[in-house]
């Protein structure tokens, strides 16, 4: 198994380009199940999660090929409807095939995703939304079995105890695109990745308005065609590089960075004394002084994203005072806390909140990654820690960051991939 070995202390300097968004890519790849022609997605990142979904889609009769970041997906055999447990259990986001499969093939059998390192992660809102469109749904041997000859438009409320659901909105919006009549989704997820999926579906011939707002209206159409669509830039990857610049007191210019997708993050970074400047589509992040502490609460978009909570916490470890980090999306998403403490951080967890007492320096240590964003936080901590840090189980980070060590090396980081076997 690979690990990342980092010797901290180098100030990052230079330019890095952000890739297409993983969380936009996955539901859009699944939408290809509904197309009568090829769907081409450009700006496609080369990530483990993308390759895994391509494999699942392959078993569902969707052929895919990638050339220079352009993925083409074509349905060649529409006779399958089963997404197997062996594959689905490796990535919860595989649930995004449920809506498209059901809408197009009349039946979907998708293994029920289990919990994961960041919490329970139920799918009740997905199922309620699809049932409201007329699907009959039951559970059989750990599989969700959803059936409907033809879905019917409906008014659907997608709110749950932790707000809306990103992939739930994606599933219901996609399925409703092929339903009879009009669907409205109230309290839809407003994340840019949902808006981008709506844009792809419209390019395929769907009639969707309001995507990117809490009220989406979908006028069903009888069929969808092929389309070409560029994926939006990955705001979480961009935010991770922003923290990398700040935590090393460096100066990094980030290309292909959508600041309008990162307002809450920029607000928190500026509050703690990090400079963020935007010019000609590039964002330059720099820092040269001791940071101020801040409070941060994760929220659905446009609030501060849960997917950057761990990375910001790594930065706050070095602030001059106490910060409070509250997780309102996944109250248990704190697997990085104990590992950061192994590096000399002073973090105390109280329910869904962590009190971060700033320290002067982090100290390198062997640490263990437990999920994608926690791994990113540990790498960031390693970049500024005194001495050597080894982040094990780095396959987590490969799920969402392409060639992370090479890109950090190009900015001057002392980081290498080593084999631990
Ligand atoms: N929830 C329910 N019922 C549901 C679905 C969700 O109660 O049926 C709850 C969840 O437990 C959570 C909240 O609603 O408390 C939000 O979950 P959501 O469904 O929005 O998460 P998701 O769609 O499964 C996507 C991203 C995650 C990101 C979350 C929140 C993808 C592939 N994944 O997951 O990304 O954290 O939205 O923004 O889009 C990551 O990239 O590292 C990652 C975990």
For position 147, what pLDDT does the model report? 98
Average pLDDT over residues 180-208: 98
Rounded distance from Cα 162 to ligand 1 centre (Å): 9
- Whether the pLDDT of residue 60 is over 90: the answer is yes
Ligand 1, closest atom to CA 49?
Answer: 32
For position 370, what pLDDT does the model report? 85
Ligand 1, closest atom to CA 168?
Answer: 19
Please give the domain boundaries of the chain with CATH numbers for all domains.
2-19+233-419 (3.65.10.10), 22-230 (3.65.10.10)
pLDDT per position as a tens digit, 131-181: 999 999 999 999 999 999 999 999 999 999 999 999 999 999 999 999 999
Rounded distance from Cα 165 to ligand 1 centre (Å): 6
pLDDT per position as a tens digit, 84-139: 999 998 999 999 999 999 999 999 999 988 666 777 788 999 999 999 999 999 99
Rounded distance from Cα 249 to ligand 1 centre (Å): 32
Write out the DSSP string of 297-361.
Answer: EB-STTSB-GGGHHHHHHHHTTSSSEEEEE-SS-TT--HHHHHHHHTT-EEEEETTEEEEE--S-
**8 A C-beta contact, residue 6 and residue 414:** yes
Would you call 130 helix, strand, or coil by DSSP?
helix
Which among 48, 165, 297 is the best mutation to test ligand 1's pocket, defined by most ligand atoms within 8 Å of the CB? 165
Rounded distance from Cα 421 to ligand 1 centre (Å): 33
Dist CA 242 CA 383 (whole Å): 13
Ligand 1, closest atom to CA 92?
Answer: 24
Q: Which residue has the tokens 């105890």?
A: 161
- Whether the pLDDT of residue 8 is over 90: the answer is yes
Q: Is the CB of 188 under 6 A from ligand 1?
A: no
Dist CA 288 CA 219 (whole Å): 52
Query: Is 116 assigned a catalytic role?
Result: yes
For position 3, what pLDDT does the model report? 95
For ligand 1, atom 11, which residue shows the shortest CA distance?
121
Dist CA 87 CA 92 (whole Å): 10
For position 105, what pLDDT does the model report? 97
Catalytic residue among 96, 116, 257, 282: 116
Q: What's the alpha-carbon Rg for the chain, to the nearest Å?
A: 21
Ligand 1, closest atom to CA 300?
Answer: 38
């Amino acid at each position: 198994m690979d690990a990342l070995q980092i010797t901290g202390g180098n100030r990052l300097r230079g330019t890095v380009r952000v890739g297409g968004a993983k969380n936009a890519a996955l539901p859009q790849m699944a939408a290809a199940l509904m197309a009568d022609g090829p769907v081409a997605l450009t700006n496609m990142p080369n990530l483990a999660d993308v390759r895994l979904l391509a494999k699942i889609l392959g078993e569902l009769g969707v052929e895919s090929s990638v050339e220079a970041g352009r993925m083409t997906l074509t349905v060649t055999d529409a006779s399958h409807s089963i997404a197997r447990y062996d594959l689905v259990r490796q990535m919860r986001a595989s649930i995004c095939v449920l809506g498209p499969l059901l809408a197009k093939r009349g039946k979907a059998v998708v293994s029920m995703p289990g919990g994961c390192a960041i919490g329970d992660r139920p799918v009740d809102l997905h199922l309620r939304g699809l049932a409201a469109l007329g699907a009959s749904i039951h559970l059989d041997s750990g599989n969700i079995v959803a059936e409907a000859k033809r879905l019917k438009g409906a008014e659907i409320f997608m709110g749950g105890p932790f707000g809306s659901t990103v992939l739930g909105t994606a599933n219901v919006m996609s399925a409703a695109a092929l339903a009879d009549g009009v669907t409205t989704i109230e309290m839809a997820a407003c994340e840019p990745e949902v808006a981008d999926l709506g844009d792809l579906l419209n390019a395929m011939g769907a009639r969707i308005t309001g995507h990117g707002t809490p009220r989406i209206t979908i006028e069903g159409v009888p069929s969808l065609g092929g389309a070409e669509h560029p994926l939006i830039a990955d705001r979480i990857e961009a935010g991770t590089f922003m923290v990398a610049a700040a935590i090393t007191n460096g100066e990094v210019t980030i290309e292909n960075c959508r600041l309008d997708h990162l307002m809450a993050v920029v607000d928190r970074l500026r509050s703690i004394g990090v400079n963020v400047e935007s010019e000609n589509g590039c964002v330059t992040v720099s820092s040269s002084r001791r940071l101020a502490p801040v409070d941060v609460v994760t929220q659905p978009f446009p609030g501060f994203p849960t997917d950057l909570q761990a990375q910001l916490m790594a930065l706050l470890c070095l602030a001059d005072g106490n910060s409070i980090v509250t997780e309102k999306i996944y109250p248990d998403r704190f697997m990085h806390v104990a590992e950061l403490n192994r590096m000399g951080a002073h973090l105390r967890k109280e329910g869904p909140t962590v009190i971060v007492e700033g320290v002067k320096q982090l100290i390198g240590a062997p640490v263990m990654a437990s999920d994608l964003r926690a791994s990113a936080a540990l790498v960031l901590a390693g970049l500024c820690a005194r001495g050597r840090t080894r982040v094990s189980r780095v396959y987590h980070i490969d799920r969402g960051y392409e060639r992370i060590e090479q890109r950090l090396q190009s900015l001057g980081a002392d980081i290498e991939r080593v084999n631990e076997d």
